[in-house]
Amino acid sequence: MNKPGLELSVPDTESVTIAEGTLVEAVTLALRYEMARDDCVVILGEDVGVNGGVFRATEGLQKQFGSNRVLDTPLAEGLIAGISIGMAAQGLKPVAEIQFMGFIFPALEQIACHAARLRNRTRGRLSCPLVIRAPFGGGIRAPEHHSESTEALLAHLPGLRVVVPSSAYKAYGLLLAAIRDPDPVIFLEPKRIYRAQRQRIPNDGQALPLDTCFTLREGTDLTLVSWGAMISECTQVANDLATRGISIELIDVATIKPLDMETIVTSVKKTGRCVIVHEAPRAGGVGADIAAQVNEQAFLELQAPVARVTGFDTIMPYARKEDIYMPNTIDIQSQIEKTLNFS
Amino acid sequence: MRGRHRFAIPFLQYLDTHGEVDVPLPAWTSDIERLQKLYEQMVLARTLDQKAVALQRTGQLGTYPSTLGQEAVGVAIGLAMQADDVLVPYYRDAIAQILRGMPPENILLFWGGEERGSDPGGASQDFPPCVPVATQLSHAAGVATAMKLRNESRVTLVTCGDGATSKGDFMESLNLAGVWQLPLVVVINNNQWAISVPLKQQTAAQSLAQKAIAAGIDGTQVDGNDVIAVYDAVKTALDKARKLRQPSLIEAVSYRLSDHTTADDASRYRDQKELNVHWAEEPIGRFQHFLHTRGYWDEAREKALQAHCRETVDAVVAAYLAAEAENPEAIIDYLYAFLPAALEEQREAIGRKAEVLNGQENPGA
């Protein structure tokens, strides 16, 4: 294995372009590309080796790169995060998988007290270039503790990046960027859309920018802000409204920490109206921060209060009632209409 | 599963509590200079430690965790490790850090409220002291994993207190060290108190070393106030990790003669009689007795050492007090490799606020 900074050239076999792939396949593709390019990249987690991960995100990687590059760990999330910190401090680039976000809590101490702080507390001497991947969110009828969206807990912590892809294409480019980033990145994968759609992914190793919102659709009447799986519902609503002559500007936040408010504020100054959509509970959600900053920075341009469409402030219900909890296209459309009609 | 497994925990002690020896000493003890150095560094550790406490009492240092009575553990670790090994310390390892090249004034800077104080100087891959109990065990396991994956002959050594052995991170890391056969040495500084909680309320286990058994790795208990025993155990464990890639656990049984930190008052929960018993067993007196008995030490050397320690500590304090202020933006400049655009305004606000505060402190300046 090479020392930090040394990178292997990309094998020819990796320069293939696949025509179409799902979000979870895009994750595998990005991991495979970066493992071939940089032998400091090491995958670790529960069931990630022989089994290829419970969602198959690491399928085939141990076979291809060996058991020194894809490590099946004992069942201990705090340990997975903790050893990733030690490995990262030694110049490796660990990409750890937490099997579900509902099980990230034992790792939270390591993430908050160490990963996020290592560079600062050593004044740049040691750093923590790790990625912690975790599937998150509801909508797949999973058992208890498998459906939460607690990204705001992580987004509150200085020193972290929190990134949420909304499509296969984004997952590929953002994951490459996350692995190459010199600081810790929490990469939350919306599992509801893991296999929802096949998308063309050029496997060219091109990373997408972090700390940047993506404007998915330009519009003039209202700015719709969201991230992750909810981008699907937002896109559908924006398309429907377009047929009625309502022009929605749709922004995919993508990196929810640190926030690219410039893109959002510029858009709201243009449209005068803003609706934020997230699956997570409302109180203390990332939407609250976005709304506060829009108020601070675009108050005079606002023609209606900034509104939020979110999950309820309750425990994520079990499968039979999760549809009641989850924001849907009707919730989004009706809030958009209210905001447009505000006077 | 068939059969029943029997285990034993070895106990290592060369010097009894009076500094007398009735067992053969390890071969390395023929190196008299090494023995003298072990002693000298323990005395320096105590001198610096007592000075740090005095600085705190006079408002010149923040809360500080004394290492009084546990000097043998830190000195043995600091002298036994190789320069390119990695130390992952907890917060009672000042002398080990200093012996690995940390400028001693950094210890004071750290407890005086400066992030810069975590700079280890020479051993630049060492971790800063870890405050959240036991979390450092898994960092060390990660560092050792990197060493193993790269097929290096370096070793990671991590320390913790007895309280840490009650936490999951301790057992999880020990467990991993066993499964992956990591080049990792775990040293428990069992000073028998976790703030006010004595060891018997921490665990029903007869020893802490036996926790290694459940992880499938070697565990040894040593007299943590016998510097020969601690040094020997640490050296043996480092060699085993280096050459055989085998992890081990060392429980160094010592005693916390001080309060937990300067913010603590142990007289609230600890009997003075118990303290007196342990003062009679502290590591420096017994080792000095041993050196005298062997003719390796005398009054003249002791006098010179005391003077040297005083001078060294005075210079360290002067360097600490003279340290230039770090610029205020440092509180945000090291958060990420590059300052995110979202934080640029806050960075400017930090500079402005510092100017205001500075003006309040120095009106007319």
The 3-state DSSP class for residue A337 equals helix
Q: Has residue A330 got a pLDDT over 70?
A: yes
- For B78-116, the pLDDT digits (tens) are 999 999 999 999 999 999 999 999 999 999 999 999 999
Contacts of A300 (CB under 8 A, 6+ apart): none
* A96 found inside a domain: yes
Contact B179 A106 (CB under 8 A): no
- The pLDDT value given to residue A17: 64
Q: Examine the domain organization and report whether A138 and A31 are in the same domain.
A: yes
Q: Has residue A5 got a pLDDT over 60?
A: no
Contact A79 B173 (CB under 8 A): yes
Q: Which among A149, A140, A70, A141 has a CA at the least distance from the CA of A104?
A: A149
Q: Examine the domain organization and report whether A141 and A177 are in the same domain.
A: yes
Contacts of A50 (CB under 8 A, 6+ apart): A62, A72
Residue from the list B141, B150, B337 with its beta carbon closest to the beta carbon of A182: B337
Question: Is-contact A251 A224, C-beta < 8 A?
Answer: yes
Segments in B58-119 forming alpha helices (H): 71-80, 94-99, 104-111
The last residue of one of the domains, among A178, A203, A228, is A203
For residue B120, name the pLDDT band (cuts at 50, 70, 90).
Answer: very high
* A11 found inside a domain: no
Contact B125 A259 (CB under 8 A): no
* A102 found inside a domain: yes
Sign of CA dihedral B332, B335, B336, B342: negative
Pairing, β A222-226 against β A274-281: parallel
Rounded to an integer, what is the distance from CA B262 to the centroid of its chain?
17
The last residue of one of the domains, among A203, A229, A246, is A203
* B26 in A contact zone (CB under 8 Å): no
Q: Examine the domain organization and report whether A231 and A310 are in the same domain.
A: yes
Q: Examine the domain organization and report whether A37 and A147 are in the same domain.
A: yes
- Name the percent of chain B lying above pLDDT 90: 95
For residue B5, name the pLDDT band (cuts at 50, 70, 90).
Answer: confident
Rounded to an integer, what is the distance from CA B105 to the centroid of its chain?
16
Q: What Å distances lie between residue A286 and A174, A227, B225, CA to CA? A: 19, 10, 53
Q: Has residue B329 got a pLDDT over 50?
A: yes
Q: Has residue A6 got a pLDDT over 70?
A: no
- Name the percent of chain A lying above pLDDT 70: 94
Question: Is-contact B22 B221, C-beta < 8 A?
Answer: no
Contacts of B84 (CB under 8 A, 6+ apart): B123, B125, B154
Best residue of A92, A113, A125, A127 to probe chain B, by most B CBs closer than 10 Å: A125
The whole domain housing A157 covers 16-203
Phi then psi for residue A178, to 5 deg, are: -65, -45
Q: Examine the domain organization and report whether A38 and A169 are in the same domain.
A: yes
Question: Is-contact B207 B171, C-beta < 8 A?
Answer: no
Rounded to an integer, what is the distance from CA A197 to the centroid of its chain?
17
- For B14-46, the pLDDT digits (tens) are 999 999 998 999 999 999 999 999 999 999 999
Q: Has residue B52 got a pLDDT over 90?
A: yes
Question: Is-contact A143 A317, C-beta < 8 A?
Answer: no
* Catalytic residue ranges of B: 256, 260, 269
Q: Has residue A4 got a pLDDT over 70?
A: no
Number of domains in chain A: 2
Q: Examine the domain organization and report whether A250 and A197 are in the same domain.
A: no
Contact A78 B336 (CB under 8 A): no
* A2 found inside a domain: no
* A141 found inside a domain: yes
Contacts of B236 (CB under 8 A, 6+ apart): none
CATH code of the domain in which A265 resides: 3.40.50.920
Contact B169 A123 (CB under 8 A): no
- For B196-223, the pLDDT digits (tens) are 999 999 999 999 999 999 999 999 999 9
Q: Has residue B363 got a pLDDT over 80?
A: no
CATH code of the domain in which A96 resides: 3.40.50.970
- Closest chain B residue to the Cα of A263, Cα to Cα: B342
- Name the minimum distance, in Å, from the CA of A51 to any CA of chain B: 19
Contact A82 B330 (CB under 8 A): no
| Surface of A (71-90) touching B: CB under 8 A | 71, 73-74, 76, 78-79, 81-90
Best residue of B118, B145, B326 to probe chain A, by most A CBs closer than 10 Å: B145
Ordered DSSP codes for B272-315:
HHHHHHHHTT-HHHHHHHHHHHHTS--HHHHHHHHHHHHHHHHH
Residues of A in contact with B137 (CB under 8 A): 82
Segments in chain B forming alpha helices (H): 32-57, 71-80, 94-99, 104-111, 135-149, 168-180, 211-215, 227-244, 272-279, 283-294, 299-322, 330-333, 344-361
Q: Has residue B318 got a pLDDT over 80?
A: yes
Which residue reads 């499964």 in tokens? B179
Query: What is the pLDDT of chain A when averaged over all its residues?
Result: 94
- Closest chain A residue to the Cα of B114, Cα to Cα: A121
Average pLDDT for A231-250:
98
The last residue of one of the domains, among A182, A203, A224, is A203
Query: What is the pLDDT of chain B when averaged over all its residues?
Result: 96
Average pLDDT for B351-356:
96
| Distance separating alpha carbons of residues A268 and A300, to the nearest angstrom | 11
Q: Examine the domain organization and report whether A197 and A221 are in the same domain.
A: no
| Distance separating alpha carbons of residues B292 and B284, to the nearest angstrom | 12
- Name the minimum distance, in Å, from the CA of A29 to any CA of chain B: 24
The residue from A145, A146, A156, A278 that is catalytic is: A146
Q: Examine the domain organization and report whether A51 and A178 are in the same domain.
A: yes
Which residue reads 């290492």 in tokens? B67
Best residue of B88, B130, B172, B176 to probe chain A, by most A CBs closer than 10 Å: B172
Q: Has residue A30 got a pLDDT over 50?
A: yes
Contact B146 A110 (CB under 8 A): no
Q: Examine the domain organization and report whether A269 and A173 are in the same domain.
A: no
- For A263-284, the pLDDT digits (tens) are 999 999 999 999 999 999 999 9
SS3 of chain A: helix, strand, coil, percent, to 5:
40, 20, 40
- Name the percent of chain A lying above pLDDT 90: 93
Q: Examine the domain organization and report whether A232 and A308 are in the same domain.
A: yes
* A308 found inside a domain: yes
What is the Rg, in whole angstroms, of the alpha carbon atoms belonging to chain A? 20
- For A138-184, the pLDDT digits (tens) are 999 999 999 999 999 999 999 999 999 999 999 999 999 999 999 99
- Name the minimum distance, in Å, from the CA of A249 to any CA of chain B: 22
Q: Examine the domain organization and report whether A233 and A279 are in the same domain.
A: yes
* A211 in B contact zone (CB under 8 Å): yes
Residues of A in contact with B173 (CB under 8 A): 79, 82-83
- The pLDDT value given to residue B2: 64
* A309 found inside a domain: yes
- The pLDDT value given to residue B45: 98
- The pLDDT value given to residue A212: 98
Which long-range contacts link B301-310 to residues 24+ away (Cβ below 8 Å)?
B301/B36, B305/B40, B305/B43, B306/B43, B308/B44, B309/B43, B309/B44, B309/B47, B309/B48, B310/B47
| Surface of A (33-52) touching B: CB under 8 A | 42
* B155 in A contact zone (CB under 8 Å): no
For residue A12, name the pLDDT band (cuts at 50, 70, 90).
Answer: very low
Contacts of B319 (CB under 8 A, 6+ apart): B103, B105
ipTM above 0.90, yes or no: yes
Q: Has residue A208 got a pLDDT over 80?
A: yes
Average pLDDT for A306-326:
97
Contact A123 B175 (CB under 8 A): no
Q: Has residue A3 got a pLDDT over 70?
A: no
For residue B262, name the pLDDT band (cuts at 50, 70, 90).
Answer: very high
* A209 found inside a domain: no
Q: Examine the domain organization and report whether A22 and A152 are in the same domain.
A: yes
CB atoms within 10 A of CB A196: 16
Q: What Å distances lie between residue B303 and B43, B49, B68, CA to CA? A: 12, 19, 21
Contact B336 A83 (CB under 8 A): no
